[in-house]
Amino acid sequence: MHIRNGLLPGDIERIVRYHDEYYAERYGFNHDFGKYVEGPLIELYDRNSPKERIWLVEEHGALKGCIALARVSDEEAQLRWFYVDESLRGRGYGQKLINLLIGFAVEKNYQRIILWTVSLLDEARRVYERNGFVLEEEHKTKIWGSELVEQKFTKRL
């Protein structure tokens, strides 16, 4: 098991496929969710900015987790595409990814990290709150074929 940063050929497709399949099976999201993941992920790759980074957890060549920090402005970055495969949960990989992301954000002089999520993702929310992210906004929305409560969390650095 190891964590690496940067995307290799095929990684974008694997990240999109994981999100698309997992959220469809677990929460009933339609396949618009995969497109929602794919577009900004490709943009992050194309920008190749030194102020942005993506980390991937791999086990024997299989992608088992992901987290990214995407620039919003000089002061603000966004946590994106965070997941840890169910087979690894409870083993500290989610916390390792969060620590890498926060450390990188501090190194790049961001003043805050934001993230958008939905209220039904209880496990992820607990990780965010344990790491100092505070719920700042929420609203009901219909997206990805589901009625959801979208939430914005912020961590001040």
Identify the residue whose tokens are 């209220």: 119
- Does residue 72 belong to any structural domain of this protein? yes
- Does residue 105 belong to any structural domain of this protein? yes
Characterize the bridge pairing of strands 76-84 and 112-118: parallel
Residues 99-157: tens digit of each pLDDT: 999 999 999 999 999 999 998 888 888 999 999 999 999 999 888 888 889 999 999 99
> What's residue 132's pLDDT?
97
- Does residue 19 belong to any structural domain of this protein? yes
- Does residue 43 belong to any structural domain of this protein? yes
> What's residue 49's pLDDT?
96
Domain residues for the domain of 25 are: 2-110
Total tally of structural domains belonging to the chain: 1
- Does residue 70 belong to any structural domain of this protein? yes
80 bridge partner residues: 68
> What's residue 77's pLDDT?
98
CB within 8 Å of 154: residues ≥ 6 apart: 112, 113, 114, 133, 134, 136
**Are the CB atoms for 98 and 80 separated by under 8 Å?**
no
- Does residue 76 belong to any structural domain of this protein? yes
- Does residue 151 belong to any structural domain of this protein? no
Confidence (pTM) = 0.91
CATH code of the domain containing 29: 3.40.630.30
**Side-chain half-sphere of 94: how many Cα atoms within 13 Å?**
20
- Does residue 40 belong to any structural domain of this protein? yes
Residues 35-89: tens digit of each pLDDT: 889 999 999 999 999 999 999 999 888 899 999 999 999 999 999 999 888 787 7
